[in-house]
Every structure is written in structure tokens, then in C-alpha cells.
Amino acid sequence: YSDKVNFLSTNLPRLDDTPNNYDAIILTNKSLGLYYQLITQDFPQAANHDFKALEYSRKAKDTRSEIDMLCNLSSLYFQKNDTTGISYTSEAYAKAKQDKYMPGLYRASVNISNYLFNQRRFKEALTYLKEGELIASDLNYVIEMQYLYSFLGDIYAALNNPIEAENNYKKSIIDLPQTSS
């Protein structure tokens, strides 16, 4: 990865700040942000690239990229255990709902649910997660279902509903051919 990251990092400053380059600037910063978040866990560097991609998404008036970047920032802040990230996912949720951008709405719903779960607001978390589950089903996000069922199990367990918790935990461990063990 490092050779590709070095290539992107070296060439990113060479892109002129013109509308013709906005898509390349967004994509490059988005990629670098994910690399620094998920691979090296250099959160300040990840945030720097995510905010730059968000800035250019807004300059380009690319609502879907803006939603994606708000979700990325939300995930980054969640990974850092920083609750201010809920503001990014709330904004993404509202924009995705208005734009009817279902992949973004899915991510924002699940991200909000994560934050609410950690705040021990289990009923609200359940509402958002159930919305995410419906969207995942509609979008045929089969790979996501094991995670969603496990998370639903956690919420039902926290709500002292062992029957629903067990049902969802059982669904989460079914070996689906589209997912890995």
C-alpha cells in the first residue's frame, strides 16, 4: 500500500484547484483518509484528508460525495471514541433522506445507532438500526446482515429482551455463502 499512498500523496498537491479536478481531489483525499483511518490508524492524518474531501464535495455541489464524507468522518470519530462525530452522521442522515441516497442513508442510520447505543439510548438506537436493516435488505447488502443481526442482538439484550436477542444472535452466526466466516 505504501507505494500507492506515496504516489497519491505526492501527486495530490499537483492538482490545480479548478472544477475540472474536483472529482480527482475528492477521490484521492477520500482514499487517503480511509487508508490513514483503517490501515495505519493515523487519525489526525485521516481527518485532514476527510475534511479536504468534504470541502471539495461541497465546492463541487456533489451531495452524494458530501454524504459519504460525512459518514466517513462519523466513523472516524466513532473509532476515536469521540462523541462529536454524531453531528456528522446526523447531517449525513438528513441529507441522504432528502436526496433519497439509500447507501448513504444506510450508513448514516447504522452510524447513528452506534452512537446512540454507546449513550445507552437503546430504543432510539433500535429505531435507526431497524431502518438500516430494511435499507440493507432492499439494497441486497447480504454481507452486512451478519453485523446487523449481531448488533440487533446487542440492542435487544440491552433492552432486556432475551428472546429477540437470541433470535438475532442466531441469525448472525448463520454461514451465508456471500460472507466470510
Task: Give the pLDDT of residue 174.
Answer: 80
Per residue in 68-127, pLDDT tens?
Answer: 999 999 999 999 999 999 999 999 999 999 999 999 999 999 999 999 999 999 999 999
Query: Hey, is 140 helix, strand or coil?
Result: coil
Q: Residues 125, 156: contact at Cβ < 8 Å?
A: no
Q: Is the pLDDT of residue 179 over 60?
A: no
Buried b (16+ CB within 10 A) or exposed e, 139-176: eebeebbbebbebbbbbbbeeebeeebeebbebbeeee
Q: Is the pLDDT of residue 181 over 50?
A: no
Per residue in 1-43, pLDDT tens?
Answer: 677 767 666 766 666 777 778 898 899 899 999 999 999 999 9
Q: Is the pLDDT of residue 66 over 50?
A: yes
Mean pLDDT, range 151-176, rounded to an integer: 93
Mean pLDDT, range 156-165, rounded to an integer: 98
Q: Residues 102, 111: contact at Cβ < 8 Å?
A: no
Other beta carbons within 10 angstroms of residue 33's beta carbon come to: 24
Task: Give the pLDDT of residue 42.
Answer: 93
Task: Give the pLDDT of residue 11.
Answer: 64
Task: Give the pLDDT of residue 175.
Answer: 66
Q: Residues 54, 88: contact at Cβ < 8 Å?
A: no
Task: Give the pLDDT of residue 177.
Answer: 61
Q: Residues 48, 55: contact at Cβ < 8 Å?
A: no
